């Protein structure tokens, strides 16, 4: 296949490029580099099956030649990023998704949307299954991301129903691994960088809120299986192993061997109290489930941040 990955220089996008090239496909990575980083894909520069285009997908998207699939992964993706880039976050989820769907229609390409567990907001049912419609505050600080992803899902289904575009929707839960940005504010890189530097680990709230962390290689395999499936309804992709943020902080301290202390700060507005994917559909439809245990994935991630020249 010849595949376009938007957000191809980002965390998930670059790992998708790796997997697609490994599976023998030709890959075009597109990124405007506002949160993406060319270092994430530089190991593919010089590969004839790989091309990078610096472009903002909220502007008209042009790609020469045939395309078999488009994976739409462009978006700021951390709560701090969408606080700092609220308009870009809304635009890439809304106008960017529209542009790239137009390209999929024109090229007759399969389309995969990177949606998010954020469509469930601060969920009132637990674990979250795909039939749940969510509990989102549209006007809160996270609303720019949550509503952009919800609009993106709506326009994907409209292009599927009205134009017959062959679409997929992945609802991606917290994912971690090498190539996360050290300073993007998400809990995994933040705690690791703090622990390695001997700084305090900043737990927000009382740390009783939960998340379920999926290692990135597991995640991209799930996305690849979804691309190759016939499923047009949303599918949760994530790791159901759930833990409190306090426990997660202690895991990071243990695995880094750090003697940093844990301090407590205010909980950000609308921070979901619990989050765990129900992955029954992914297991059945994609024949997929995560394989990498947290400690193994965390060890690899810690190694990555240890080797970063300037993690700040
Ligand atoms: N969090 C924290 N300390 C930090 C960063 C995040 O306690 O320095 C918490 C945050 O409040 C949330 C959880 O960790 O409850 C996961 O946050 P993240 O930003 O990674 O992603 P989210 O799942 O909220 O989108």
Taking alpha carbons only, the member of 65, 85, 63 closest to residue 75 is 85
pTM metric for this prediction: 0.97
- pLDDT attached to residue 232: 98
Ligand 1 centre distance from Cα of residue 191 (Å): 10
- pLDDT attached to residue 312: 58
| Residue 199: DSSP 8-state | P
Architecture of domain 2-177+214-240+277-291: 3-Layer(aba) Sandwich (3.40)
- pLDDT attached to residue 311: 65
Cite the active site residues. 145
Taking alpha carbons only, the member of 151, 132, 34 closest to residue 81 is 34
264 lines ligand 1 (CB under 6 A): no
Q: Where are the domains of the chain?
A: 2-177+214-240+277-291
Q: Give the long-range contacts of residues 250-254, CB within 8 A, separation 24 or more.
A: 251/294, 251/295, 251/298, 252/191, 252/192, 252/195, 252/201, 252/298, 252/302, 253/195, 253/201
- pLDDT attached to residue 31: 98
160 lines ligand 1 (CB under 6 A): no
- pLDDT attached to residue 309: 79
Q: Whose CA is nearest to atom 1 of ligand 1?
A: 187
Ligand 1 binding pocket mutation candidate from 116, 174, 201, 245 (most atoms within 8 A of CB): 245
Taking alpha carbons only, the member of 77, 34, 85 closest to residue 57 is 34
202 lines ligand 1 (CB under 6 A): yes
pLDDT 10s per residue in the chain (312 long)?
Answer: 999 999 999 999 999 999 999 999 999 999 999 999 999 999 999 999 999 999 999 999 999 999 999 999 999 999 999 899 999 999 999 999 999 999 999 999 999 999 999 999 999 999 999 999 999 999 999 999 999 999 999 999 999 999 999 999 999 999 999 999 999 999 999 999 999 999 999 999 999 999 999 999 999 999 999 999 999 999 999 999 999 999 999 999 999 999 999 999 999 999 999 999 999 999 999 999 999 999 999 999 999 999 997 765
Ligand 1 centre distance from Cα of residue 216 (Å): 17
Q: Which atom belonging to ligand 1 lies closest to the Cα atom of 249? A: 7
Q: Whose CA is nearest to atom 4 of ligand 1?
A: 187
């Amino acid at each position: 296949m010849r595949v376009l990955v938007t957000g191809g220089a980002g965390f998930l996008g670059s790992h998708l490029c790796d997997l697609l090239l490994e599976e023998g496909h030709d890959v075009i990575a597109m990124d405007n580099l506002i949160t993406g980083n060319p270092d994430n894909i530089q190991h593919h520069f010089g590969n004839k099956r790989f091309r990078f285009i610096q472009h903002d997908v909220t502007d008209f998207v042009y790609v020469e030649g045939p395309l078999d699939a488009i994976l739409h992964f462009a978006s700021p993706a951390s709560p701090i990023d969408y606080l700092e880039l609220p308009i870009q976050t809304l635009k890439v989820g809304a106008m960017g998704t529209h542009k790239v769907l137009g390209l999929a229609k024109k090229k007759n390409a399969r389309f995969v949307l990177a949606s998010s567990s954020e469509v469930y907001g601060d969920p009132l049912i637990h674990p979250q299954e795909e039939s749940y419609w969510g509990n989102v505050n549209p006007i809160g600080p996270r609303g720019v991301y949550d509503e952009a992803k919800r609009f993106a899902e709506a326009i994907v289904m409209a292009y599927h129903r009205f134009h017959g575009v062959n679409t997929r929707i992945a609802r991606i839960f917290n994912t971690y691994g090498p190539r996360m940005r050290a300073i993007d504010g998400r809990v995994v890189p933040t705690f690791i960088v703090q622990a390695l530097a001997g700084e305090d680990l900043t737990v927000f709230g009382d740390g009783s809120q939960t998340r379920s962390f999926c290692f990135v290689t597991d995640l991209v395999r799930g996305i690849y299986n979804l691309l190759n499936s016939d499923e047009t309804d949303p599918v949760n992709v994530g790791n159901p192993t759930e833990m409190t943020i306090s426990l997660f902080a202690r895991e990071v301290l243990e695995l880094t061997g750090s003697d940093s202390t844990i301090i407590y700060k205010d909980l950000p507005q609308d921070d979901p109290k619990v989050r765990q994917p129900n992955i029954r559909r992914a297991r059945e439809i994609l024949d997929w489930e995560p394989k990498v245990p947290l400690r193994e994935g965390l060890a690899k991630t810690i190694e990555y941040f240890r080797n970063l020249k300037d993690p700040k």
